[in-house]
Each structure stands twice: as C-alpha cells, then as structure tokens.
Structure 1
C-alpha cells in the first residue's frame, strides 16, 4: 500500500466512522477521535472481508462499502457501550 492509499484509507475511515455514528442507535458519549478510529478499523476490516469472500475487485466495490458501514455501526455501538459516560459537573 502506498502513502496515498494509506491516506485515502484514513479519510475513508473517518467518513465511515461518521456514518457509523449516525446510524448507531442511542447517544454516544465517546470522543470524535475514537469514532474516527473505529471507522478506520471498520474500513480495513470491511475491505479485508470483501476480499476474503471474493466480493471486491480492483476498484470501488459496493459490497466492500456496505461491509465497512455495517462494521462501523457495530464498532461504534460496541465502543460506546464500553466507553465510560461523561459526568457533568
């Protein structure tokens, strides 16, 4: 993977994380950097799963994108469940 490919994956991961946060049920108290991190992990995992199952080609793949978004929703939901609530003082 080139530097440009890695940078694109980080940007795509941030977008995927934001979509995951929008689609995840409930209110999340986790910081935005953690949402972006979950999105980056989901982007890589979704691409890997799509390639593993033969659903991804050389370019953009609808199935890979769907897997990335679903994994981002699950990831944001799980991280938010274990992230401590903010207390207002």
Structure 2
C-alpha cells in the first residue's frame, strides 16, 4: 500500500464511518470523532483485505473494495459502540 493509498483510504474512511453508522440499526452511543477513526481504520483494513483477495484494482469503480470497507467499518462501529456504551454506563452509577 502506497502513501497515496493510505491517504485515500483515510479520507474515504471519513465517509465510510458515517455510512457504517447509518447501516447499523439503532443509535450508537459513541461520539462522531470515534466513528470517523473507526471508519478510517475500516477503510484501511478493507483496502488491505481487497488487495490480499486480488480485487483492489478493477476496471471502473472498485465496488468489492468499497463493500469490504463499509462492512469492516460497520463491524468496528458496532464493537466500539458496545464497548464505549458499556464503559460510559459504568461511570454513571
């Protein structure tokens, strides 16, 4: 992965974090900055996975890579949401 690829994945991650949050049912008790971070990480991991599967570079729009990025980010947002919400509830006794 090149520097340009990493930068692109991070920028796309901002959007993917928001999309991941939209595809999850219910309200996620995490701040938007954490959603962005998880989305960026999901985008990078999705790009790496697409490269390993050999589907990162295709003619036209890389739909498989985008779907992988959103899926990984959605799982990440769900996990972080559960952990963050549990931690926050524990503090408010």
Scaled by the length of structure 1, what TM-score is found?
0.83
For 2:50 and 2:72, the matched residues in 1 are separated by 12
> Counterpart of 2:70?
69
What do you get for the CA RMSD once the two structures are aligned? 2.2
1:56 corresponds in structure 2 to: 56
Count of aligned pairs: 87
Counterpart secondary structure, 2:55: coil
> Structure 1 residue 10: deviation in Å?
2.3
Check conservation: 2:6, 2:44, Cα contact below 8 A: no
Distance 1:70 1:29 in 2: 19
TM-superposition CA deviations, 1:36-89 (whole Å, max 9, x none): 00000000000100110111117741110000011111110000000034689x
Give the 5 Å matches for 1:3-82: 5-57=5-57, 60-82=61-83
SS at structure 2 position matched to 1:83: helix
For structure 1, list consecutive stretches of 5 or more residues without a partner in the other structure: none
Stretch of structure 1 that moved more, 9-18 or 37-46: 9-18
TM-score, structure 2 normalization? 0.80
Structure that is richer in helix per residue: 2
